[in-house]
Structure 1
Amino acid sequence: MCGVVRGRSRERGADMNGAWLPVCQAKADFFRMLGHPVRIRVLELLQSGPMPVSGLLAAIGVEPSALSQQLAVLRRSGMVTATRSGSTVVYELAGGEVTELLRVARRALTEVLAGQHALLTELRQAEAGARPAAAGVPATGAVGAVS
C-alpha cells in the first residue's frame, strides 16, 4: 500500500483513485509524531517501566515545559498513558508494540549506519588514492618501482 510512482500504482489491481491516501497520511502522521528526539528518549526510558515526570526530567535534562509539551504529543497519539497519584504524574507505554517498534527502529538504523560507514570508508580510500604521491614515492605506493 502507498506505492505510487507518477500517478500509477506499483501494485497490480490497487485502487488508482487515491483510496490509499488516508492510510498513507495516517502513517506519515504517525512517523512525524515520532520525529522528535525528546519523544524518542521518553519512549526508550519507559521501556523499563512506568516513570514519574520527575524521573523523566532528571534522565532527559530538558526544561519542564519542553518535556510537558512532548509528553502531551505522546499522550494524544496514544503511545503513552499518564496516571496521577497525589501530585505525582506517572507515565508508561500504552502497549508492548511500542517496544517492538523501537527495537525495529534500532535494527534499521544500525543497518543504515553500517552502510554509511562502509561508504565513508570507501570514499576515504578513494580520496587517499587520488592524493598526489609524496616525493620519491610513486602514486601506486610501490617504493622504488621503475617505469
Structure 2
Amino acid sequence: MSAPLYQLKAEFFKTLGHPVRIRVLELLSVREHAVAELLPVVGVEAASLSQQLAVLRKANLVISRREGVNVYYRLTSDEVAQLLRVARSILSGVLEGQAELLADLRATSPKY
C-alpha cells in the first residue's frame, strides 16, 4: 500500500526545508547552471553543495547532465519555479501583515 498523499506532501516540503536547496532552486529557476557557477553564489563548500544537489535529484526536482568536466543542473519542471514564486508571494503578504502589526503596536504604545 502506498503512503497517503498528505505524508508524501510532508516529505516533499521537508525536501524544500533547507536554505541551500531553496537557493539552488531559485538560481535554477532562472536558467541551467554548472556546479562551478553555483558554488560562489550559494556560498557553501563543494561537498555540501553536492550533498544538497543529490537530495534535489533524489526528489526529482532537478536533473543533471555532464559536458566535459562540467556538470550542469536544471529544474525538472517549470512548476518548481512557480512554487517558489507562490511561496515568495505568501511570505510577502505575511511580512506585510507583520509590518502593519508592528506599526500599530508602535502607534498605540503608552508613553512612559
Shorter-chain TM-score category?
over 0.9
Partner amino acid, structure 2, of 1:51: H
Partner amino acid, structure 1, of 2:52: Q
Identity of aligned residues (%): 52
The gaps in structure 1 that reach 5 residues or longer are 1-20, 133-147
TM-score by length of 2: 0.93
Between the aligned partners of 1:102 and 1:119, the Cα distance in structure 2 is 26
| Higher radius of gyration, 1 or 2 | 1
4+ aligned runs moved over 2 Å, structure 1:
none
The gaps in structure 2 that reach 5 residues or longer are none
What is the aligned counterpart of 2:22 among 35, 40, 50?
40
The alpha-carbon deviation at position 131 of structure 1 amounts to 2.2
Between the aligned partners of 2:42 and 2:19, the Cα distance in structure 1 is 10
Partner amino acid, structure 2, of 1:118: E
What is the aligned counterpart of 1:81 among 50, 63, 68?
63
The alpha-carbon deviation at position 36 of structure 1 amounts to 0.7
Tell me which of the two structures has the higher relative contact order, counting C-alpha pairs closer than 8 angstroms and 6 or more residues apart.
2
User: Does residue 63 of the first structure (1) align with residue 45 of the second (2)?
Assistant: yes
The alpha-carbon deviation at position 88 of structure 1 amounts to 0.9
User: Does residue 131 of the first structure (1) align with residue 108 of the second (2)?
Assistant: no
Partner amino acid, structure 1, of 2:81: T
Number of residue pairs aligned between Structure 1 and Structure 2: 110
TM-score by length of 1: 0.71
Where is the helix percentage greater, Structure 1 or Structure 2?
Answer: 2
